[in-house]
A and B are shown apart, each in its own frame.
Chain A
Amino acid sequence: MTQWSGYLGLIVQGALVTIELTLMGSVLALIMAFLAGMGRLSRFFVLRALATAYIEFFRGTSIFVQLFFAYFVLPLVGLELTPLQAGVLALGLNVGAYAAEVVRGAIQSIGREQYEACIALNLGRWHGMRHVILPQALLVMLPTFGNNAIELLKATSVVSLISLADLTFQAQVVRAQTGNTMVPFATILVIYFILALLISWGVRSLERRMARGLDGVRV
């Protein structure tokens, strides 16, 4: 009979790495999403071009290749990254490219009358964006951001290929050592699912909090 309790420790360690990657990757993705999403709406051609190039490139190439590039190719030009850094970089840039389009779409979904009210109140572009457009657009972005975060969580499993000891990596360790495939992979399947549920639940409650008052229901 295999001593599963020892292996459970490995899985928990893997889960912590996966969570760390997801959180750090999401932060980078969020930053990139706003930079590139707003860049695409910029008045300046150079910013629009940069943002478009970033989005198309990172959406159009495989995250697997991006990760290998970050980990194995960048050192050749003198940029040495730890597996965690390479993982966060690839995941953040990749998912950020998808989320940038969410940011752009949400900003454009805010009605023209809101922009016109900003002009009539002389708010200026920055104040109008910061205080009027973005707070409303954020609510539009949130559900899709939740999707993006789950995508990112699932994509973290590719980092096992550059020997970062995440959930998937540890499941393979357990499988190699015990010869049992079913137990470790069934376990991490459930753990991934629970993590994804936590993300949906978190995003939904955030959504509810932000939508308070908008629908005329008493706050």
Chain B
Amino acid sequence: MSTTAPIIKVDAISKSFGAFKVLDGLSMQVMPREKLALIGPSGSGKTTILRILMTLERIDGGHIQIEGEQLYHMERNGQLLPADERHLTRMRQKIGMVFQLFNLFPHKSVIDNVTLAPMLTKGTPRAAAEKRAMELLDMVGMADKAKAMPAQLSGGQKQRVAIARALALQPKIMLFDEVTSALDPELVEEVLNVLWRLCAETDMTMLLVTHEMGFAHDFADRVLFFDRGRIVEEGKPDEIFRNPRQERTQGFLKKIIAAGHRV
């Protein structure tokens, strides 16, 4: 066992939407540089945990620590108080997110999408921000489209720009929420290749919610199987995909395979 501290520590969090309990006392830990795949049926809470880590949803109970610091709480005189906007802003600097539907800014060119946040939030001068943006766009294979508008791009291209945009803020943790689910099958590969490249060239911690079981198997260090707001089973990809112990995991994988996904 390594002695490094976890970069993410989720402790007994719960979250409900109305009467529907999405997360029910969920706890998990993620180590620095770990690549984690979150799988499970829809409504199982796997996307919600990403959204909570990005502060897009608030928790009803429990605690989350990022690099040993409370995400939703501030320590004042030994007491834990709810975090204010300033605290959240500081904590968010550690985290980036890529969305299923890309969420690019349609009124801004590709390069402006990438430079906007560094220029506004870090005060990076335009020239430096654009230089960095071009490096990132080059990394995702989109440098030749820097001047294009998002509406001129295919889904896969949009998603690669969205990845570059999130990388521009140099987060330590990247959250990928079903980043290939909205893509035509022939465009999935180009986005997954970018993820492989990130894995090889950066030491970011990566959490992926995905339905690409083959990719999850090859890419992840660890797989978490979610069902009904809890982690039902977790382990190395081989254990989860080849020898799932839990009945619900077996049932889920059977359905996925029946639907034609490669494992």
The chain A residues found within 8 Å of chain B, CB to CB, are: 113-114, 116-117, 119-124, 127, 131-132, 135-136, 139, 213-216, 218-219
Could you tell me the distance in whole angstroms from the C-beta of B171 to the nearest C-beta in chain A?
Answer: 9
Could you tell me the distance in whole angstroms from the C-beta of A17 to the nearest C-beta in chain B?
Answer: 38
Which residues of the other chain, B, contact A132 by a CB distance below 8 angstroms?
105, 116
Q: Are A120 and B107 in contact (CB under 8 A)?
A: no
Q: A119-B55, A121-B116, A214-B151 are in contact. Are A113 and B105 (CB under 8 A)?
A: no
Could you tell me the distance in whole angstroms from the C-beta of B43 to the nearest C-beta in chain A?
Answer: 19
Q: Mostly helix, strand, loop or mixed at chain A's interface?
A: helix
Report the stretch among B22-30, B88-96, B130-138, B206-214 that lies at the interface.
B88-96
Q: Are B103 and A119 in contact (CB under 8 A)?
A: no
Which residues of the other chain, B, contact A131 by a CB distance below 8 angstroms?
116, 120
A136: which of B56, B106, B151 is its contact (CB, 8 Å)?
B106
Q: Are A113 and B103 in contact (CB under 8 A)?
A: yes
Give the docked Cα–Cα distance between A218 and B152 (Å): 8
Q: Are B105 and A114 in contact (CB under 8 A)?
A: yes
Q: Report the nearest A residue to B165, measured CB to CB.
A: A121
- B179 contacts the other chain (CB 8 A): no
Give the docked Cα–Cα distance between A116 and B100 (Å): 12
Q: Report the nearest B residue to A218, measured CB to CB.
A: B152
Which residues of the other chain, A, contact B166 by a CB distance below 8 angstroms?
120-121
Q: How many pairs of residues, A versus B, come closer than 8 Å at their CB atoms?
A: 68
Which residues of the other chain, A, contact B149 by a CB distance below 8 angstroms?
213-214, 216, 219
Give the docked Cα–Cα distance between A198 and B101 (Å): 40
Q: Are A119 and B56 in contact (CB under 8 A)?
A: yes
Which residues of the other chain, B, contact A124 by a CB distance below 8 angstroms?
89, 120-121
- Using A132-B105, A139-B107 as known contacts, list a sample of 16 further A-B pairs with CB atoms less than 8 Å apart, ordered by residue number in A: A114-B103, A116-B103, A117-B99, A120-B56, A120-B92, A120-B99, A121-B117, A121-B165, A121-B166, A122-B93, A123-B117, A123-B120, A132-B116, A135-B107, A214-B149, A216-B151
Interface positions of B from 119 to 135, Cβ below 8 Å from A: 120-121
Give the docked Cα–Cα distance between A98 and B96 (Å): 40
Give the docked Cα–Cα distance between A106 and B56 (Å): 22
Which residues of the other chain, A, contact B169 by a CB distance below 8 angstroms?
121-122
Listed from nearest, the 4 A-B pairs whose CB atoms lie closest are A216-B151, A117-B103, A121-B117, A213-B149
Q: A113-B101, A122-B92 are in contact. Are A213 and B107 (CB under 8 A)?
A: yes
Which residues of the other chain, A, contact B93 by a CB distance below 8 angstroms?
122
Q: Are A127 and B56 in contact (CB under 8 A)?
A: no
Q: Are B107 and A127 in contact (CB under 8 A)?
A: no
Give the docked Cα–Cα distance between A161 and B169 (Å): 60
Give the docked Cα–Cα distance between A122 and B151 (Å): 24
- B54 contacts the other chain (CB 8 A): yes
Q: Are A213 and B151 in contact (CB under 8 A)?
A: yes
